[in-house]
Amino acid sequence: MAEAIKNRYEFVLLFDVENGNPNGDPDAGNMPRIDAETGLGLVTDVCLKRKIRNYVDIARGGNEGYDIYVREGAVLNVQHKKAYEHYELKPESKKLPKNEADAKKVTDFMCHHFYDIRSFGAVMTTEVNCGQVRGPVQINFARSMDPIIQQEITITRMAVTSEKDAEKKDREMGRKHIVPYGLYRAEGFVSANLAQKTGFTTDDLELLWEALINMFDHDRSAARGKMAARKLVIFEHETALGNAPAHKLFELVTVAKKDLTRPARAYSDYEVTVNAAAVPAGVKLTEK
């Protein structure tokens, strides 16, 4: 595979939802996640990483080095056995191989074989132990730019579940939860130092940008409503250590509602500004 990246990156992703639930909260009856103190909507990092994994699986599935470790229905110990079988090693319960070189081999195999381990890292200290790695790509919770309204919509189904129900009624009622509109902002980081340890390459990085832009187009469902990636702003440093603090770069991307007298119902209701003139020396700005 290609050489690991040598530059640090930060990025800002703006995405929106219309009449859908971007990330249901199982602790609240699957209502859209919300910050109880501010009313701002939330989308977890785990939710966003799931969509990235799914896109990579669609775009590169079946290619060497682009298998997905955390996938629906996967048994992690079975995934781990692939590394031991590849090197004809016998796993010892909950322990890495005693030989340090063999231990490194199985961990490196997992990084090389699975895109999401190479990107996000993984704790693989299960019954079949492959160690653990911290991934170079990390994403914060996304927050909506304004407080969201959690709406509960009653729906009807022109059918019933059982014969017994058919004797009493000819349809059943249900509910779905939506956000009428919300613009969300997620911020992320890509560490060149951690990329050296997992083997995260320039090709992997380009695939990450591709996934962030296109992942919602391959995650459609009635519950999601209409979701779209609206803007991706990338900050590339000249060095692995970086040339400016991440928070100062994030502050260069601002989002403001144009009309404060009414709720936003479209991306066009916001003005997004990227202060390119204030980008520090040694940092390259890219907008997608």
CB 165 within 8 Å of CB 172 = yes
- Range of 231's domain? 9-153+176-287
What pLDDT shows up at residue 159? 82
Note whether residue 146 is domain-resident: yes
* Cα–Cα distance, 250 to 254 (Å, whole number): 8
Give a yes or no: residue 166 inside a domain.
no
Whether residue 200 is contained in a domain is answered as yes
Residue environment code for 208-245, b if the CB has 16+ CB neighbours within 10 A, otherwise e: bbbbbbebbeeeeeeebbebebbbbbbbbbeeeebbbe
pLDDT at residue 229, as a whole number? 98
Asked whether residue 162 is assigned to any structural domain, the reply reads: no
Token pair, residue 41, equals: 């909507």
Residue ranges, the chain, pLDDT below 70:
1
Residue 128 covered by a domain: yes
- Look up the pTM and report it: 0.94
Q: Does a structural domain hold residue 163?
A: no
Number of domains forming the structure of the chain: 1
Specify if 3 maps to a domain: no
CA pair distance 89, 156, nearest whole angstrom: 56
Which pLDDT score, from 0 to 100, does residue 1 have? Answer: 55
Give pLDDT, residue 175. Answer: 85
Residue 115 falls inside a structural domain: yes
